[in-house]
């Protein structure tokens, strides 16, 4: 009886979760279906009419994807986004892991003050920093280059990344560090052989956050790289297609789905690490 009551008590919560999931899934499904439909069908009927039984698969086409990849520049932009995102994810994670370990377990003058200043950076809008940083990049010749966007994303991502990793690394048992110190391990040995292996789930979770943020970014890429096709990210290229193709929704949806494919694959492929990383540090010890 008690088990039945517990199950029934969860029904409203599950119903709300299902409704929210459907609200998120329907637009994605609409983009996916529309990306395979020819232009006359998209102009005449809604995407949901393509799901009527019996299905007529002959009405679907891959020409929309061929158009955006070969003519719309999405293929080159996809490669550019990989070139931007991979270093802009690895660099801040490496620096943040070292900094979080230092703030959590090393004693040095001004440690608390520096950490407070670091957390305070989270409330500063990144838009306020773009003009001075862009002027600096222009003087150094970094504007419109991949190293420039790597540095920009690294700087913007470090405060939150350090803060998140600090919460987990700081919750590790102090006995582990005491034992390693007694055994004669150096600071770097403790970090690479003890802290990193124990922090894999938290690092994986933060990596997913950083990767998705950089991949989906439009503003930072547009400001520091511009719209040059040779270096334009996929978000910049998709935004340019909106103006170029106008009402050709079937082409735009194909471009959008290409841009969504990698983030969705990474999120669902690493979902278990994401969930573990979110829960990591919630229980100390």
CA pair distance 59, 273, nearest whole angstrom: 40
Torsion sign over Cα 120, 123, 125, 126: positive
More confident position, 138 or 280: 138
List pLDDT tens digits, range 7-38.
667 778 788 888 888 888 888 888 888 888 88
Coil, strand or helix at 197: helix
- Inter-residue contact 84 to 221 (CB < 8 Å): yes
Reported as a pLDDT band with limits 50, 70 and 90, residue 285 is very low
pLDDT value for 81? 94
Which run of H or E residues covers position 64? Answer: helix 63-66
Report the interhelical angle of 249-269 vs 200-215 (nearest 10°): 170
CA angle (267 as vertex; 266, 272 as ends), nearest 5: 110
CA pair distance 139, 204, nearest whole angstrom: 36
* Token reading at 176: 């582990």
pLDDT value for 283? 46
More confident position, 19 or 283: 19
* 214 contact partners, CB below 8 Å, separation of at least 6: 84, 85, 88, 89, 153, 157
* Token reading at 231: 């270096």
List pLDDT tens digits, range 111-135.
899 999 988 988 888 889 999 999 9
CA pair distance 11, 137, nearest whole angstrom: 55
pLDDT value for 8? 66
Most confident of 73-82, 145-154, 275-284: 145-154
Domain ranges of the chain: 2-11+16-65, 66-279
pLDDT value for 71? 73
List pLDDT tens digits, range 188-221.
888 998 898 888 888 988 988 899 999 999 999 9
- In CATH terms, the superfamily for domain 66-279 is MetI-like (1.10.3720.10)
List pLDDT tens digits, range 216-274.
999 999 999 887 878 889 998 888 877 655 567 778 888 888 888 888 888 777 777 66
Residue (of 148, 128, 129) closest to 140 by Cα position:
148
* Token reading at 98: 């070292």
Can you point out the beta strands (E) in the chain?
none
Residue 115 has a CB neighbour count (10 Å cut-off) of: 18
CA atoms within 13 A on the CB side of 137: 21
């Amino acid at each position: 009886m008690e088990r039945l009551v517990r199950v029934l008590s969860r029904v409203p919560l599950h119903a709300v979760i299902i409704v929210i999931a459907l609200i998120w899934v329907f637009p994605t499904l609409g983009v996916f279906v529309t990306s395979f439909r020819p232009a006359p069908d998209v102009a005449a009927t809604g995407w949901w009419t393509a799901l009527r039984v019996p299905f007529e698969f002959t009405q679907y086409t891959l020409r929309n994807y061929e158009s955006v990849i070969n003519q719309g520049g999405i293929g080159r932009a996809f490669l550019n986004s990989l070139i931007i995102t991979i270093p802009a994810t690895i660099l801040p994670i490496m620096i943040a892991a070292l900094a979080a370990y230092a703030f959590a377990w090393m004693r040095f003058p001004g440690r608390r003050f520096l950490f407070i200043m670091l957390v305070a950076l989270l409330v500063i809008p990144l838009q306020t920093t773009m003009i001075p940083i862009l002027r600096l990049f222009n003087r150094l010749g970094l504007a419109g280059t991949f190293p420039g966007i790597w540095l920009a994303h690294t700087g913007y991502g470090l405060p939150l990344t350090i803060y998140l990793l600090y919460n987990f690394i700081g919750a590790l048992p102090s006995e582990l560090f005491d034992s390693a110190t007694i055994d004669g391990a150096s600071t770097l040995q403790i970090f690479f052989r003890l802290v990193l292996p124990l922090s894999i789930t938290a690092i994986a979770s933060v990596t997913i956050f950083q990767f998705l943020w950089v991949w989906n970014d439009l503003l930072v890429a547009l400001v520091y790289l511009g719209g040059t096709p040779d270096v334009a990210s996929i978000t910049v290229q998709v935004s340019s297609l909106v103006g170029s193709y106008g009402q050709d929704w079937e082409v735009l949806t194909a471009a959008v789905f290409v841009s969504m494919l990698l983030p969705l694959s990474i999120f669902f492929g690493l979902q278990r690490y994401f969930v573990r990383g979110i829960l990591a540090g919630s229980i100390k010890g």
